[in-house]
Amino acid sequence: MRDFEKRSAEIEQLTRALEGVADQHARAAAEALMRAVMDLHGDALARVVAIAGRHGAVDALLRDELLSSLLLLYDLHPAPVEERVRGALAKVRPYVASHGGGVELVAINDGVVRLRMEGSCEGCPSSARTVKLAIEEAVLEAAPEITAVVVDDTSRPEDGRHARWQELPAMQPLSDGDARTLDLDGTALLLCRIGDALYAYGTACPGCGAALRSSAVQTGAVTCTSCGRRYDVQRAGRALDESSNFHLEPFPLLVENGRARVALPV
């Protein structure tokens, strides 16, 4: 969990604890204190943005993850919501392309972002869900005021905030063509790198159930040493045997500022 999310969760927990204080006067005083501190910080941040704007330094503020998150929290972010949503889609588009598809913004109305998927994850429902979850996380992170993300207009709105995103621990970097197994908060993952792209899959071979081992990715594919089946890392883990409908279990993965996050089952 990133620092801002961790601190926000701690503040929310303390706020809930405050609501349970029996002494009404003490609770009212504490709530008034919180509002006063928030107002003070909000005014100070507004001045920071104004001064940065005069000196052409707003972009530097927005590149700082903590400051950018605080500006969103205080509704002071200078970038309009559509610009932030388009930026989020640009960030996640290479990941969507790795699953054989594309994504385009259709409209933003009344807090609902409508997207159109193009040729993504055909024939693989788990891969399609994985891509949608990654898109929703990126959009809602960039524009938390969005209430829902709807894909293909007819899809049911799904809120990416319900996903349990976990940051990968610091480890020896993977080289191009390497694969490595990792236990992340009780979930076994197979991480693979091809070029600059990082992929995350479940470790069980869908063909025979055997565990996939850390090994080299040969010509873009991971091979099960038990049954010999090969899976295309860059195409959502599809089996390379054309007569097979097997797919590796894909996990949504986002990389930003050199840090990778994976969405784990709730």
User: Given the DSSP bridges, would you call strands 148-151 and 164-167 parallel, antiparallel or unpaired?
Assistant: unpaired
DSSP codes, 138-154: HHHHH-TT--EEEETTT
pLDDT digits (tens, 9 = 90+) for 195-220: 888 888 998 888 888 888 777 688 78
Distance CA 224, CA 18 (A): 53
Quote the pLDDT of residue 216: 67
- Residue 266, both tokens: 């709730």
If asked whether residues 48 and 111 sit together in one domain, one would say: no
If asked whether residues 148 and 171 sit together in one domain, one would say: no
If asked whether residues 35 and 59 sit together in one domain, one would say: yes
Other CB atoms within a 10 A radius of the CB of residue 225 amount to 11
User: Given the DSSP bridges, would you call strands 164-167 and 102-109 parallel, antiparallel or unpaired?
Assistant: unpaired
pLDDT digits (tens, 9 = 90+) for 116-151: 887 655 555 566 777 888 888 888 888 888 888 887
* Ranges in the chain, pLDDT < 70: 1-5, 119-127, 152-163, 216, 242-244, 257
- Residue 74, both tokens: 């205080």
Any idea what the CATH number is for the domain that residue 189 is in? 2.102.10.10
Quote the pLDDT of residue 161: 46
Q: Which domain, by its residues, includes 201? A: 166-264
Share of the chain above pLDDT 90, in %: 3
Query: How many domains would you assign to the chain?
Result: 3
- Among 27, 57, 73, identify where a domain stops: 73
Quote the pLDDT of residue 242: 64
Quote the pLDDT of residue 232: 87
Distance CA 22, CA 25 (A): 9
Calculate the CA 36 to chain-centre distance. Answer: 33
- Give the H or E element holding residue 43: helix 24-54
**Residue 197 burial (10 A CB sphere; 0-12, 13-18, 19+):** middle
User: pTM to 2 decimals?
Assistant: 0.57
